[in-house]
Amino acid sequence: VEEKKIYQEVPGGRNKFHSAILTTFSFDFHHFEYQVLKTLKNKWVINVGVLADSDMLDKTLGTTSQGLRQLTQSYSVDGVKSKGAFHPKINFFIGDNELLMVLGSGNITTGGNGKNHEVFTGFYADSKESAFLPLLIETWRYLQDSARELEGYSKSRIFNIIPRNCSLLGNVNVKPHSYNRVDANTEIALLYNQSNSLFKQIISLIPAKTISLITIVCPYYDEDGQFLLQLLKEFPNTLLEVYIPNNFGLPPVNMESNSRVTFLSWENTDRASAKIKGAENFDRKLHCKIFNFKSTEFEYCVIGSPNATVAAFGTPSKAGVNEEFAAIYKSKKLDFLSNLEISGSKQRIDVSSYTRNTSNAAVSDERKRIRNLLTILACDLIGLTFKLYLKESLGLEGICLTLKCNLTQVRGM
């Protein structure tokens, strides 16, 4: 089965990629500096910006961000606020004449880069004729849209500096959420929140009545299975096979039983037996999100960040609260589930006997956003000038700004 080291596989060299914009829900500073950034630097990717969920970033700062060495000098991290979670996992690489996107389910953390079971895919364009260019341009516009509230250098990087240094990021006619043919048998479209929900985008991309089986491999679900019920409603001829991990995630424990739905044990799949070296007892978490729709002629497969929840996909009439990003394949030939070893003996489970791990609720779609009295949008240190961007003047008196030197190696501030 195909496994790749996410950042090791990026082609390196003077004429390849110079910049990267990476998005993540949770962010591990130490992992990023020691493993990701080092790898990218070796590949000449030196202009790196990270967009992370603002609440998750706030939690990390001050708790597990001590002793950093590279921050402010080699990369920037910006928090992105959204109504729900800012959840996309996009690794977008930009060169003078090339673009590469690696998107999937993994955050920029030790788990997200392979300690968990995480699925990714990669799209590459090296000319204006590339079949993937419209998809990559569409993604770039999505990234720009996500960055619209940033300030300072981080914003300038995405809106000015990078576009000026890539011949492919020009005016290309892109029709959002529509299939792009990438070979004779495969078409790919992108799913992300806009005026309509991911759910609605799926309905418009998949002929509902042709689907006979939907397979879902995912850790997080609505407690009452609302998203699953919605699928049953919109895809009237389908059966649902749902792989649920034991001891992790949020299974739909209160979903009413339905003869069209079978819950299966993730642990019985072939893939689940892929262990981590050196820690036999380590419970490798299922964190991927795979939604496979099977018809007699085509397979449609959604790979990316959304979990099987209404917060992620929304409903046909209402957008989800989360920011999510995924790709949907339409293929006559590709057998996604077999390729990913979602195979083996199917072991039925009684999902109502499973437990919703409440500690996961904090990071799932069910969490509540943190309300800040004051938001720092950006901090730039340019030469000897320190520039701070606040969201707005709140008229709060007695606010004192303290700059901690020991957070990073930055001194004399």
Partner 1 sequence: MYTAQSYKKPFWAENSGFITGRDPLGIQNSSITTYTRLLPGITNLTLRIRYYGLYSWLLSVYSKEANNKSDNIEGHYNYFRRAELIVAFIMRKKFPDELSIIGSDYTDKREGDVEKKGFYDIRQGADKVSNPKEEDVYWDFPSGALGQYYAGSLIALKLISISERFFIIEPEGQKLAEAFESVVPEEQRTKFLKIIKSGVLTLTDIDSLQDFAINQIAIGSPEWNFYKSMLIGIDGPDILDEDGVQTYLRKETIGLYLEYINGGNRKGNDLNFIESQYLLNVSGKFNEASFGWYYYYLNEGFHFALETIFWTLLVQLDGTEQEVEDFIFKMTELVADKSASPFGNSAEQSIAEIINSTEKIDLISSQTELEGLVKSPINSLVAIHHAFQLMILIYKLTQTRQEEIGSFEKRYKVWAQKGRVSENLECYVEQSMELQYKDFVKETIKKILNDHINTAYRKMGNGESNLLKFIIEDSIITHIQTMTPRHTSPRLRTLSNIMSDLSFVHNNSHLTEEGLTLLKTISE
Segment 258 to 287, residues that bind partner 1, using CB under 8 A: 271, 274, 276-279, 282-283, 285
Tell me the β-bridge partners of 2. none
Structure tokens at 327: 């790709």
Of residues 292-331, which lie at the interface with partner 1 (CB under 8 A)?
301, 303
User: Given the complex with partner 1, which of 58 and 234 has the nearer CB atom?
Assistant: 58
User: Rounded to the nearest whole angstrom, what is the least distance from the CB of residue 102 to partner 1 in the complex?
Assistant: 7
Tell which one of 71, 82, 92, 118 touches partner 1 (CB under 8 A). Answer: 118
Distance CA 229, CA 257 (A): 10
Distance CA 38, CA 48 (A): 11
Of residues 9-28, which lie at the interface with partner 1 (CB under 8 A)?
9-11, 25-26, 28
User: Given the complex with partner 1, which of 167 and 339 has the nearer CB atom?
Assistant: 339
User: Rounded to the nearest whole angstrom, what is the least distance from the CB of residue 364 to partner 1 in the complex?
Assistant: 9
Tell which one of 156, 212, 339, 355 touches partner 1 (CB under 8 A). Answer: 339
User: Given the complex with partner 1, which of 25 and 192 has the nearer CB atom?
Assistant: 25
Total interface residues for partner 1 by CB under 8 A: 76
Residues 6+ apart with CB under 8 A from 395: none
Cβ contact 20:45 at 8 Å: yes
User: Rounded to the nearest whole angstrom, what is the least distance from the CB of residue 88 to partner 1 in the complex?
Assistant: 15
Count of alpha carbons within 13 angstroms of residue 357, beta-carbon side: 14
| Residue 344 amino acid letter | G
String of b and e for 262-279 (b: at least 16 CB within 10 Å)? bbbbbbbbebbeeeeeee
Q: Applying CB under 8 A, does 344 fall inside the site for partner 1?
A: no
Tell which one of 41, 81, 115, 369 touches partner 1 (CB under 8 A). Answer: 115
User: Given the complex with partner 1, which of 31 and 177 has the nearer CB atom?
Assistant: 31
User: Given the complex with partner 1, which of 12 and 152 has the nearer CB atom?
Assistant: 12
User: Given the complex with partner 1, which of 155 and 330 has the nearer CB atom?
Assistant: 330
Tell which one of 76, 82, 116, 305 touches partner 1 (CB under 8 A). Answer: 116
Tell me the β-bridge partners of 389. 378
Structure tokens at 280: 């036999």
Of residues 351-410, which lie at the interface with partner 1 (CB under 8 A)?
357, 359-360, 362-363
Among 159, 20, 84, 30, which residue's Cα sits nearest to residue 320?
84
Of residues 183-222, which lie at the interface with partner 1 (CB under 8 A)?
186, 188
User: Rounded to the nearest whole angstrom, what is the least distance from the CB of residue 370 to partner 1 in the complex?
Assistant: 12
User: Rounded to the nearest whole angstrom, what is the least distance from the CB of residue 314 to partner 1 in the complex?
Assistant: 22
Of residues 221-260, which lie at the interface with partner 1 (CB under 8 A)?
248
User: Given the complex with partner 1, which of 25 and 153 has the nearer CB atom?
Assistant: 25
Question: At residue 332, what are phi and psi to the nearest 5 degrees?
Answer: -90, -25
Distance CA 39, CA 44 (A): 9
Among 27, 112, 34, 42, which residue's Cα sits nearest to residue 67?
34
User: Rounded to the nearest whole angstrom, what is the least distance from the CB of residue 318 to partner 1 in the complex?
Assistant: 26
Of residues 42-101, which lie at the interface with partner 1 (CB under 8 A)?
56, 59-60, 63-67, 100
Tell which one of 18, 76, 78, 117 touches partner 1 (CB under 8 A). Answer: 117
State the DSSP H helix or E strand holding residue 241, giving kind and residue range, or none if neither: strand 239-244
Please report where in the chains the tokens 């981590």 appear, as a residue.
276
Residues 6+ apart with CB under 8 A from 318: 197
